[in-house]
Chain A
Amino acid sequence: MKLNGSEIFVESLKREGVKTIFGIPGGVVLKLFDVLHQQKDVEVILTRHEQGAIHMAEGYGKATGKAGVALVTSGPGMTNIVTGLQDAMMDSVPLVAFTGQVPTNLIGNDAFQEADNIGISRPCTKHNVLVKDVADLAATIKEAFYIANTGRPGPVLVDIPKDVSTESAEFRYPDKVDIRGYRPTVTGNRYQIKQAAGEIMKAKRPVIYVGGGAIFSGAANEVREFAELTQIPLTMTVMGLGAFPGTHPLCMGMLGMHGTYCANMAMHEADLLIAVGARFDDRVTGKLSEFSPRARVIHIDIDPTSIKKNVHAHIPIVGDVKTVLRELVGVLSSMDGNPASVKAQRKPWQKQVSEWSARHPLAYQQEGKKETKPQYVIEKAYELTKHKAIVVTDVGQHQMWAAQYFRGAQQRTFLTSGGLGTMGFGFPAAIGAQKAYPNKTVLCITSEGSFQMNLQELAVAAIYKLPVKIILLNNQFHGMVRQWQDLFYEGRYASSDLGATPDFVKLAEAYGILGLHSDGPADVEAVLKEGLKHKGPVLMNFAIDRFENCYPMIPAGGAHHEMVLEDPPHMKTTRKGARKKGEDADAVLPA
């Protein structure tokens, strides 16, 4: 059957089971949009900015584990998605981005709206391809989805010149992909797995350290089985949250820069680390030379480049986390004396861990305070959604609080920009997740700084009736920046005080969605209840304590045991230059 390029494009999307794509049209992709417009299987969500489209595709990909799809035009359309591509690259998000390109005979001519899409996106994609001949289009799309979804997932960009979208070719969608240079290792090496089992049985102070790889592999059940069988305390990175129930007795919570005291102390004292789909990011390890100084390391990861990149692995195991953990559990179960003896053997270490956890639990003081503590809003929101919601965050203090208090038990329900730390990710990503799961409660935990980076997508939530519940923790600060300035820059708030923020209730209403405001702790619960009950999208604006800081905190370059647990005493005296609510820009906050 002969089809034109745009028809081939749409047919290929259908074969891949794509239901939704996010994007904005433009000159060179008009034909693609025109063909999309004339069918019903693939829905187009018209976003208000291409950055919105790419983060929505990310949210969709993160929530479902299957590639999200974006379609944008050449030139500025493409350059607007670069942030999302790099974000997806860092967080291993399955994603296929289609970009329009000027006609092949004009490429390189500085044609109108031309950009070197392939050159620009090369370092921020897992793979990218310029389609030069319509006859290659179907196979290229097949390969793009295959590469995006398999191995360590990631973004793939397919650049389609205008003439390729209009010319015709015989449509044949391949049923198989065979790329000779791409064969991800799935099963772990048997010998290494046996070695690992031996180490695990011997260890006195082992820690399981779980990252995003466990989520992409869909390994929550295996992680749990492994932890329970071996009775080893477990900690997660921000990307790993959801891989293990936050309420489980073996769960120590998140580790790293804003991790729990307990998790970081356990990392510091461990004699064995079992890293599961994690990559020893600097926000996790802190000072490398003092990272887990006594630990031997078993490192399970599908991406060989993650292994021995920052931290030496004594037992590297390359493979899919789920497959490897299954094997490992199998080997461990068949070993002598398991699991009963293990339980007894782990007791002293577990006791030590509970002591740490009791000594400095995550804490905040709401009682007796006039101003709302952000942690209180987050805890209440979780309580009211019974920890069943999909939580999508932006970047800053609110992100870390959300991560600290996340106790969910489902993989792919905590979506955040971990690797790139992209402010503006949260709201569009929440829309993408909501589109994937229209009947689930999706919370977008954000703050006025991040939210204002992509708030134009309120239009999308309104028009497509996507009932995202926006919880905006409004401190009128780039709070995380202000926190660093408090701690390390003697309280000089250089460009972190946002001063007046818009009236978010009116803003929501202007877009035709419900806006709610909470002024203090007394009405937090009522606002949340009303917002959660509402059928459509809601923006809940919570005025919070402007000066609340996120602890524990390992100062950049510090080691795990060097956590700061509360505002240091010097801070109150050095703090200067902040505006109080309602005061003008020059007013100085009294010490």
Chain B
Amino acid sequence: MEHIISVLVENKAGVLARVAGLFSARNYNIESLSVAPTPDSTISMITIVTSGEELIIEQIMKQLNKVIEVLKVVDLTEEDHIDRETALIKIGAKQSHRDEAIRIAQIFRAHIVDSTPQTYTLEVSGDSDKIQAVINLLKPMGIKEIVRTGRIAIARESA
């Protein structure tokens, strides 16, 4: 099963390599990975999407915890959470497709962030299903390039 693991780490050189190395050395999957600063400049947040049986996930969590620079590891899949990713999608937008592209953008609350006579570039955020749906709809127009951020997630506050 897929798991989203968020890992708070010391913001130091080499930490990402240690975390990534741990996955490759032990033959664990990384489906997506995102790294970003946190409000505390000494700490970074790594969000990893991985998959595996429960025992493997348990090992991954423990192994991550064992890294000296890792401060906290949370399996967000265990709790109610919101996850998002952003994609930038460049499509071929010939005259005949331009209206349709705008309509799709509106339905999915995507933005057209760049436009040339031949292309549109759309920015869309959402969960993976939504991004996949947009991509599927845009496919017939000819997708030139897709760049995705990798997923990030946050736990929902319990009321």
| CB of B82 within 8 Å of the partner chain | no
Are A181 and B69 also in contact (CB < 8 A) when A304-B62, A308-B55, A309-B59 are?
A: yes
Inside 8 A of A180's CB, which chain B residues have their CB? 10, 71
Instruction: Closest A residue to B65 by CB, please name it.
Output: A304
| CB of A492 within 8 Å of the partner chain | no
**Is the CB–CB distance between A122 and B63 below 8 Å?**
no
**Is the CB–CB distance between A305 and B66 below 8 Å?**
yes
How many Å from the CB of B106 to the closest CB on chain A?
A: 46
| CB of B67 within 8 Å of the partner chain | yes
| CB of A112 within 8 Å of the partner chain | no
**Is the CB–CB distance between B62 and A147 below 8 Å?**
no
| CB of B107 within 8 Å of the partner chain | no
How many Å from the CB of A454 to the closest CB on chain B?
A: 27
**Is the CB–CB distance between A123 and B21 below 8 Å?**
yes
Inside 8 A of B65's CB, which chain A residues have their CB? 304
Do most interface residues of chain A lie in helix, strand or loop, or is the interface mixed? mixed
| CB of A90 within 8 Å of the partner chain | no
Residues in B50-90 with C-beta less than 8 Å from chain A: 55, 58-59, 62-63, 65-71
Measured CA separation A179–B10 after assembly (Å): 10
**Is the CB–CB distance between B71 and A305 below 8 Å?**
no
Q: Which of B13, B67, B71 contacts A130 (CB 8 A)?
A: B13
**Is the CB–CB distance between B62 and A181 below 8 Å?**
no
How many Å from the CB of B33 to the closest CB on chain A?
A: 17
**Is the CB–CB distance between B25 and A123 below 8 Å?**
yes
**Is the CB–CB distance between A181 and B59 below 8 Å?**
no
Interface string of A114-128 (1 = CB under 8 A from B): 000011001100111
**Is the CB–CB distance between A119 and B17 below 8 Å?**
yes
**Is the CB–CB distance between B66 and A303 below 8 Å?**
yes
Residues in B1-52 with C-beta less than 8 Å from chain A: 9-10, 13-14, 17-18, 21, 25
How many Å from the CB of B47 to the closest CB on chain A?
A: 18
Interface string of A126-157 (1 = CB under 8 A from B): 11101000000000000000010000000000
Interface centre among A130, A303, A304 (most CB of B within 10 A): A304
Interface string of B114-130 (1 = CB under 8 A from A): 00000000000000000
**Is the CB–CB distance between A305 and B63 below 8 Å?**
yes
Measured CA separation A119–B14 after assembly (Å): 8
Inside 8 A of A128's CB, which chain B residues have their CB? 14
Are A181 and B10 also in contact (CB < 8 A) when A303-B66, A304-B65 are?
A: yes
Instruction: Closest A residue to B24 by CB, please name it.
Output: A123
| CB of A182 within 8 Å of the partner chain | yes
Inside 8 A of B17's CB, which chain A residues have their CB? 119, 122
Instruction: Closest B residue to A303 by CB, please name it.
Output: B66
Inside 8 A of A309's CB, which chain B residues have their CB? 59
How many Å from the CB of B10 to the closest CB on chain A?
A: 6
Instruction: Closest B residue to A307 by CB, please name it.
Output: B62
How many Å from the CB of B61 to the closest CB on chain A?
A: 9
How many Å from the CB of B75 to the closest CB on chain A?
A: 15
Interface centre among A123, A128, A147 (most CB of B within 10 A): A123
Inside 8 A of B69's CB, which chain A residues have their CB? 181
How many Å from the CB of B59 to the closest CB on chain A?
A: 6
Q: Give 11 CB contacts A-B under 8 Å.
A: A118-B14, A122-B21, A126-B68, A127-B68, A179-B68, A180-B71, A181-B9, A181-B68, A181-B69, A305-B59, A305-B66
Known: A147-B68, A305-B59. 10 other contacts (CB 8 A): A118-B14, A122-B14, A122-B21, A180-B10, A181-B67, A181-B68, A182-B68, A303-B66, A304-B65, A305-B63
